[in-house]
Structure 1
Amino acid sequence: MTQTRSAHRSTGTVAHLRPRYHVRPPSGYLNDPNGPIELGSDVHLYFQSRPTLDLQAPVEWGHATSPDYVRWTLHRPAMAPQPGGPDTDGCWSGNTVMDDGRIRAFYSGRVDSSPYQSVLTAVSDDGGASFGPAHQVVPDPAEAVMFRDPFVWKENGTWWMVVGAGYVDRGASLALYRSPDLSEWTAVDPLAELHRTRVGGEDTGSAWECPQVLTIDGRRIAVAASWSPEGGPGEVLSFDVDAPPAPQRVDHGTDFYAASAMRESRFGPLLFGWLPEGRDRPGWNDGWAGVISLPRRVWLGADSSLRSAPVPTMDTLRTDSPGSTAQLEIVVPDASGRVVVHFSDEEYLTFELDADTFAIDRSHASVAPYAHGGRMEVADAFDPASDRPAARIFLDGSVVEAFTSAGRVLSTRVYPTAPPPWRIEAPANTQCWGLAR
């Protein structure tokens, strides 16, 4: 199939790179998603954001709501640093829970003079639009490489909290606490620990940040981001906490980090993530950076890895024709062949389906000097017995998220200089839609 629009050179605008159906403030810097939670008919999603691209500006909790997980409304920030308070230099990552009908947040409060981000809690009395004053709930550690990012959940009548940590002598750690009432917390043995190593080619990190805990098929599955002092962020990994940790990648693309989980939703367990920029800082030329991923239904594969698919309501964004838009969904029914999105004669993005492997090659996706290139791939990509197509590919300006029938997902960023209309070269039975909020 060929969807044809004559490609042309860019006139210098970058408006076509702005995502439209992914969550993103109109300007400023966005990173970690935080505390997605359903309240009534809406889902609330919070996220770290700064009003400008100045990374020295204190982090706030941005806020968006949706009735269907795909059409989002942005609101004023729900949480801002308290001058002189325990989060005076930033409200960082955490999650939310329901507490007697109110949304309660647990998060990391940054104070630049402290080596750690203190674990704080704050309550919303206006349906999640804003949060009141914060206070610390557990003491900072006496000695750690890193300690931050609480995640709280209720299991068998007891509240639990895991905090990302790392220690010189113990390696990466998930510090664990329990509480009968969300007020008094008692430290217990770590939920999991692992000395830094490589598993399946992945660096497990000297510490774990942004930990999340899901219960799937009766198994407790941790999702955490590997981190090291010298290298910073690594990859998002998942593993069964009731077995010796054997971390596996959650996303096989180049740009996915800081996952945030919903243990329960109308679609079952879900995962959101931060899609950072795939371009060098001088290329941030439009006043914004960072996007939240599509919400993903998750389950366990036969190898115990976490698998993903877009929420069912993504179908409701489809329009009759792709038209001349940078918002596209491409559905490939069969696990063989190539899909090429031709942005111009010089710029093109390639998706390859071959045997059990799915790959994305962005080596020629942009002639912009700051855009990243390269090829990414994943094996065990297809499940002919599933009712899912071999690949569902979502483009939203500079964002690419591709899901395979076996639940593999690859997220990346591309920066073609040529705006739409674009030309799609694909097998004859491929379907393509424009997407509109």
Structure 2
Amino acid sequence: MTVTQTQSQAQTAARSAAAVAHLRPAFHIRPPRGYLNDPNGPIEVGDDVHLYFQSRPTLDLQMPVEWGHATSPDYVRWTLHRPAMAPQPGGPDTDGCWSGNTVLDDNRVRAFYSGNVEGRPYQSVLTAVSDDGGMTFGPARQVVPDPEQALMFRDPFVWRENDTWWLAVGAGFADRGASIALYRSADLEHWTYEGPLAELPRGIAAGEDTGAAWECPQVLTLDGRRIAVVASWSPERGPAEVLSFDVDVRVTPQRVDHGTNFYAASALRDSRFGPLLFGWLTEGRDRLGWTDDWAGVISLPRVVHLGPDGSLRSTPVPTVDTLRAGPGSPADGVSTGPQCEIAVPEGPGQVILHFGDQERLVVELDTDTVTIDRTHASLDNHAHGGRMQVIEAFDPTSGGPAARIFLDGSVLEIFTSSGRVLSTRVYPTTPPPWRIEATANAQYWRLAS
């Protein structure tokens, strides 16, 4: 290859990156390049929150994942660091440091996660300790034995309750269905199997596939009730939806996010704002459409609570308001860039983002529903389209707007006054400025990067 050819390829890559620069999220967590998926182990250490995530430095999905790392003083302004954990050659995670969580143990941060070794039937449950405040973790060791027979066994979640440490692991069994295996310990070193925390034969509940197995189990205590958050998974279909349910009452599992691109939720049981969830916002486009050098992003952190029906409801972390650049203004007719918030105080109403003459995104607020229509949002054949909808979307007693719409490049998250949330991705080929057509009382803010 000649120098001229190399320069030409570099110029072509630069032009391609510039053409899609408006799609890059700015205030959602993502690495500068490479691939990101599951969020892991959010934890508050002193005044800072640490968040880890599965990542690869390139888009090569055969490369073993490591634990990327970001910190923030306020949950909205993040600093990326070097990976906190990487696979150890010849070790129990030699082919990838997979999902898990972190806890504070005598002022040390301890991680529990799944170690992947190609050729083994399961990802072993490992632990590793950080002695520098969560910046890096030492060597790993296995803490519970692999199962003898299971469809899947991975993604530990550890928490402390009533002076006892508990460990939940996602699993699935051919004869029992999706399962959460439960262990207990007095010292985080020696674990005793307690049986399944919850199990459910595969079926359809509230219109959702409950899964042959559950990934990424998280356990929250809300209003004195133990709430499990799981990612529904099956060998033939792979990931489906994130579901929540009361493990004691065994209410019907219900969706946590009603959009198209939320998966692998990661919980922080106790934060300065209360229980929180993060999620992986999947791409919403075919792999052939990954024309830039990054893929994957983390959702806004969500404060969670229970709705009247026992379902998990969400509001954006309060500090997201500090991203607003200046006072609000009427949204209708505004020319906007790729980072903004639009609030609709009450329904019915409509917000249309006109990206170009042939590209638009429509958000409809009806009597009790919110609908996102991506049918004409992108001329890119690789971008996913279609409609998504959530019912029972509004609570006039909440004190908040009927809907808060957050746009960050290709990320769209909508929070409703009843605590419903819809997350999706949009890929307009037309760069900003874009025009907003909105209900007369809608408000607009530009959001700082």
User: TM range, normalised to the smaller chain?
Assistant: over 0.9
Alignment of 1:17-32 (within 5 A): 17-32=23-38
Partners of 2:335 and 2:435 within 8 A in 1: no
Q: Give the letter for the 1:89 counterpart.
A: D
Partners of 1:117 and 1:147 within 8 A in 2: yes
Q: In the aligned structure 2, how far is the partner of 1:323 from the partner of 1:90?
A: 44
Give the Å deviation of 1:337.
1.3
Q: In the aligned structure 2, how far is the partner of 1:255 from the partner of 1:11?
A: 23
* CA distance 1:418–1:191, shift in 2 (3 Å): same
Give the Å deviation of 1:139.
0.3
Residue 98 of structure 2 corresponds to residue 92 of structure 1: yes
1:354-413: per-residue Cα shift (whole Å, max 9, x none)? 000011001000001100000000000000011110000000000000000000000000
Residue 51 of structure 2 corresponds to residue 39 of structure 1: no
Alignment of 1:254-273 (within 5 A): 254-273=260-279
Q: Which residue of 2 aligns with 1:6?
A: none
Quick check: 340-349 or 240-249, which moved more? 240-249
Partners of 2:339 and 2:409 within 8 A in 1: yes
- Which of 327, 339, 345 aligns to 1:333? It is 345
For CA contacts below 8 A with separation 6 or more, give which structure has more relative contact order.
Answer: 1
Q: Give the letter for the 2:237 counterpart.
A: G
Q: Which residue of 1 aligns with 2:303?
A: 297
- Which of 349, 366, 384 aligns to 2:396? It is 384
Residue 121 of structure 2 corresponds to residue 115 of structure 1: yes
Q: Which residue of 2 aligns with 1:415?
A: 427
- Which of 129, 132, 135 aligns to 2:141? It is 135
Q: In the aligned structure 2, how far is the partner of 1:436 from the partner of 1:122?
A: 36
Residue 409 of structure 2 corresponds to residue 403 of structure 1: no
1:155-212: per-residue Cα shift (whole Å, max 9, x none)? 0000000000000000000000000000000001210000001011100000000000
Q: Percent same amino acid at aligned positions?
A: 75
1:36-66: per-residue Cα shift (whole Å, max 9, x none)? 0000100000000000000000000000000
Q: Which residue of 1 aligns with 2:152?
A: 146
Q: Residue 316 of structure 1: SS of its match in structure 2?
A: helix
1:44-98: per-residue Cα shift (whole Å, max 9, x none)? 0000000000000000000000000000000000000000000000000000000
Residue 384 of structure 2 corresponds to residue 372 of structure 1: yes
Q: Residue 159 of structure 2: SS of its match in structure 1?
A: strand
Give the Å deviation of 1:12.
7.1
Alignment of 1:70-81 (within 5 A): 70-81=76-87
Q: In the aligned structure 2, how far is the partner of 1:140 from the partner of 1:353?
A: 49
- Which of 188, 198, 204 aligns to 1:182? It is 188
Q: In the aligned structure 1, how far is the partner of 2:18 from the partner of 2:51?
A: 34
Q: In the aligned structure 2, how far is the partner of 1:237 from the partner of 1:388?
A: 25
User: For structure 1, which runs of at least 5 residues remain unmatched after alignment?
Assistant: 1-9
Q: Which residue of 2 aligns with 1:158?
A: 164
Give the Å deviation of 1:245.
4.7
Q: Residue 319 of structure 2: SS of its match in structure 1?
A: helix
Q: Which residue of 2 aligns with 1:242?
A: 248
Q: Which residue of 2 aligns with 1:432?
A: 444
- Which of 242, 248, 259 aligns to 1:253? It is 259
Partners of 1:194 and 1:245 within 8 A in 2: no
Q: Give the letter for the 2:105 counterpart.
A: D
Alignment of 1:40-59 (within 5 A): 40-59=46-65
Q: Which residue of 2 aligns with 1:124?
A: 130
Q: In the aligned structure 1, how far is the partner of 2:384 from the partner of 2:220?
A: 33
Q: Which residue of 2 aligns with 1:362?
A: 374
* CA distance 1:152–1:337, shift in 2 (3 Å): same
Partners of 1:12 and 1:417 within 8 A in 2: no
Give the Å deviation of 1:244.
2.4
Q: Give the letter for the 1:412 counterpart.
A: T
Partners of 2:232 and 2:240 within 8 A in 1: yes
Q: In the aligned structure 1, how far is the partner of 2:137 from the partner of 2:280?
A: 23
1:287-322: per-residue Cα shift (whole Å, max 9, x none)? 110000000000000000000010110000001377
Partners of 2:50 and 2:72 within 8 A in 1: yes
Give the Å deviation of 1:335.
1.7
Alignment of 1:268-347 (within 5 A): 268-320=274-326, 324-347=336-359
Partners of 1:277 and 1:289 within 8 A in 2: yes
1:86-132: per-residue Cα shift (whole Å, max 9, x none)? 00000000000001001000000000010100000000011111000
Q: Residue 343 of structure 1: SS of its match in structure 2?
A: strand
Q: In the aligned structure 2, how far is the partner of 1:376 from the partner of 1:105?
A: 36
CA RMSD of aligned residues (A): 1.2
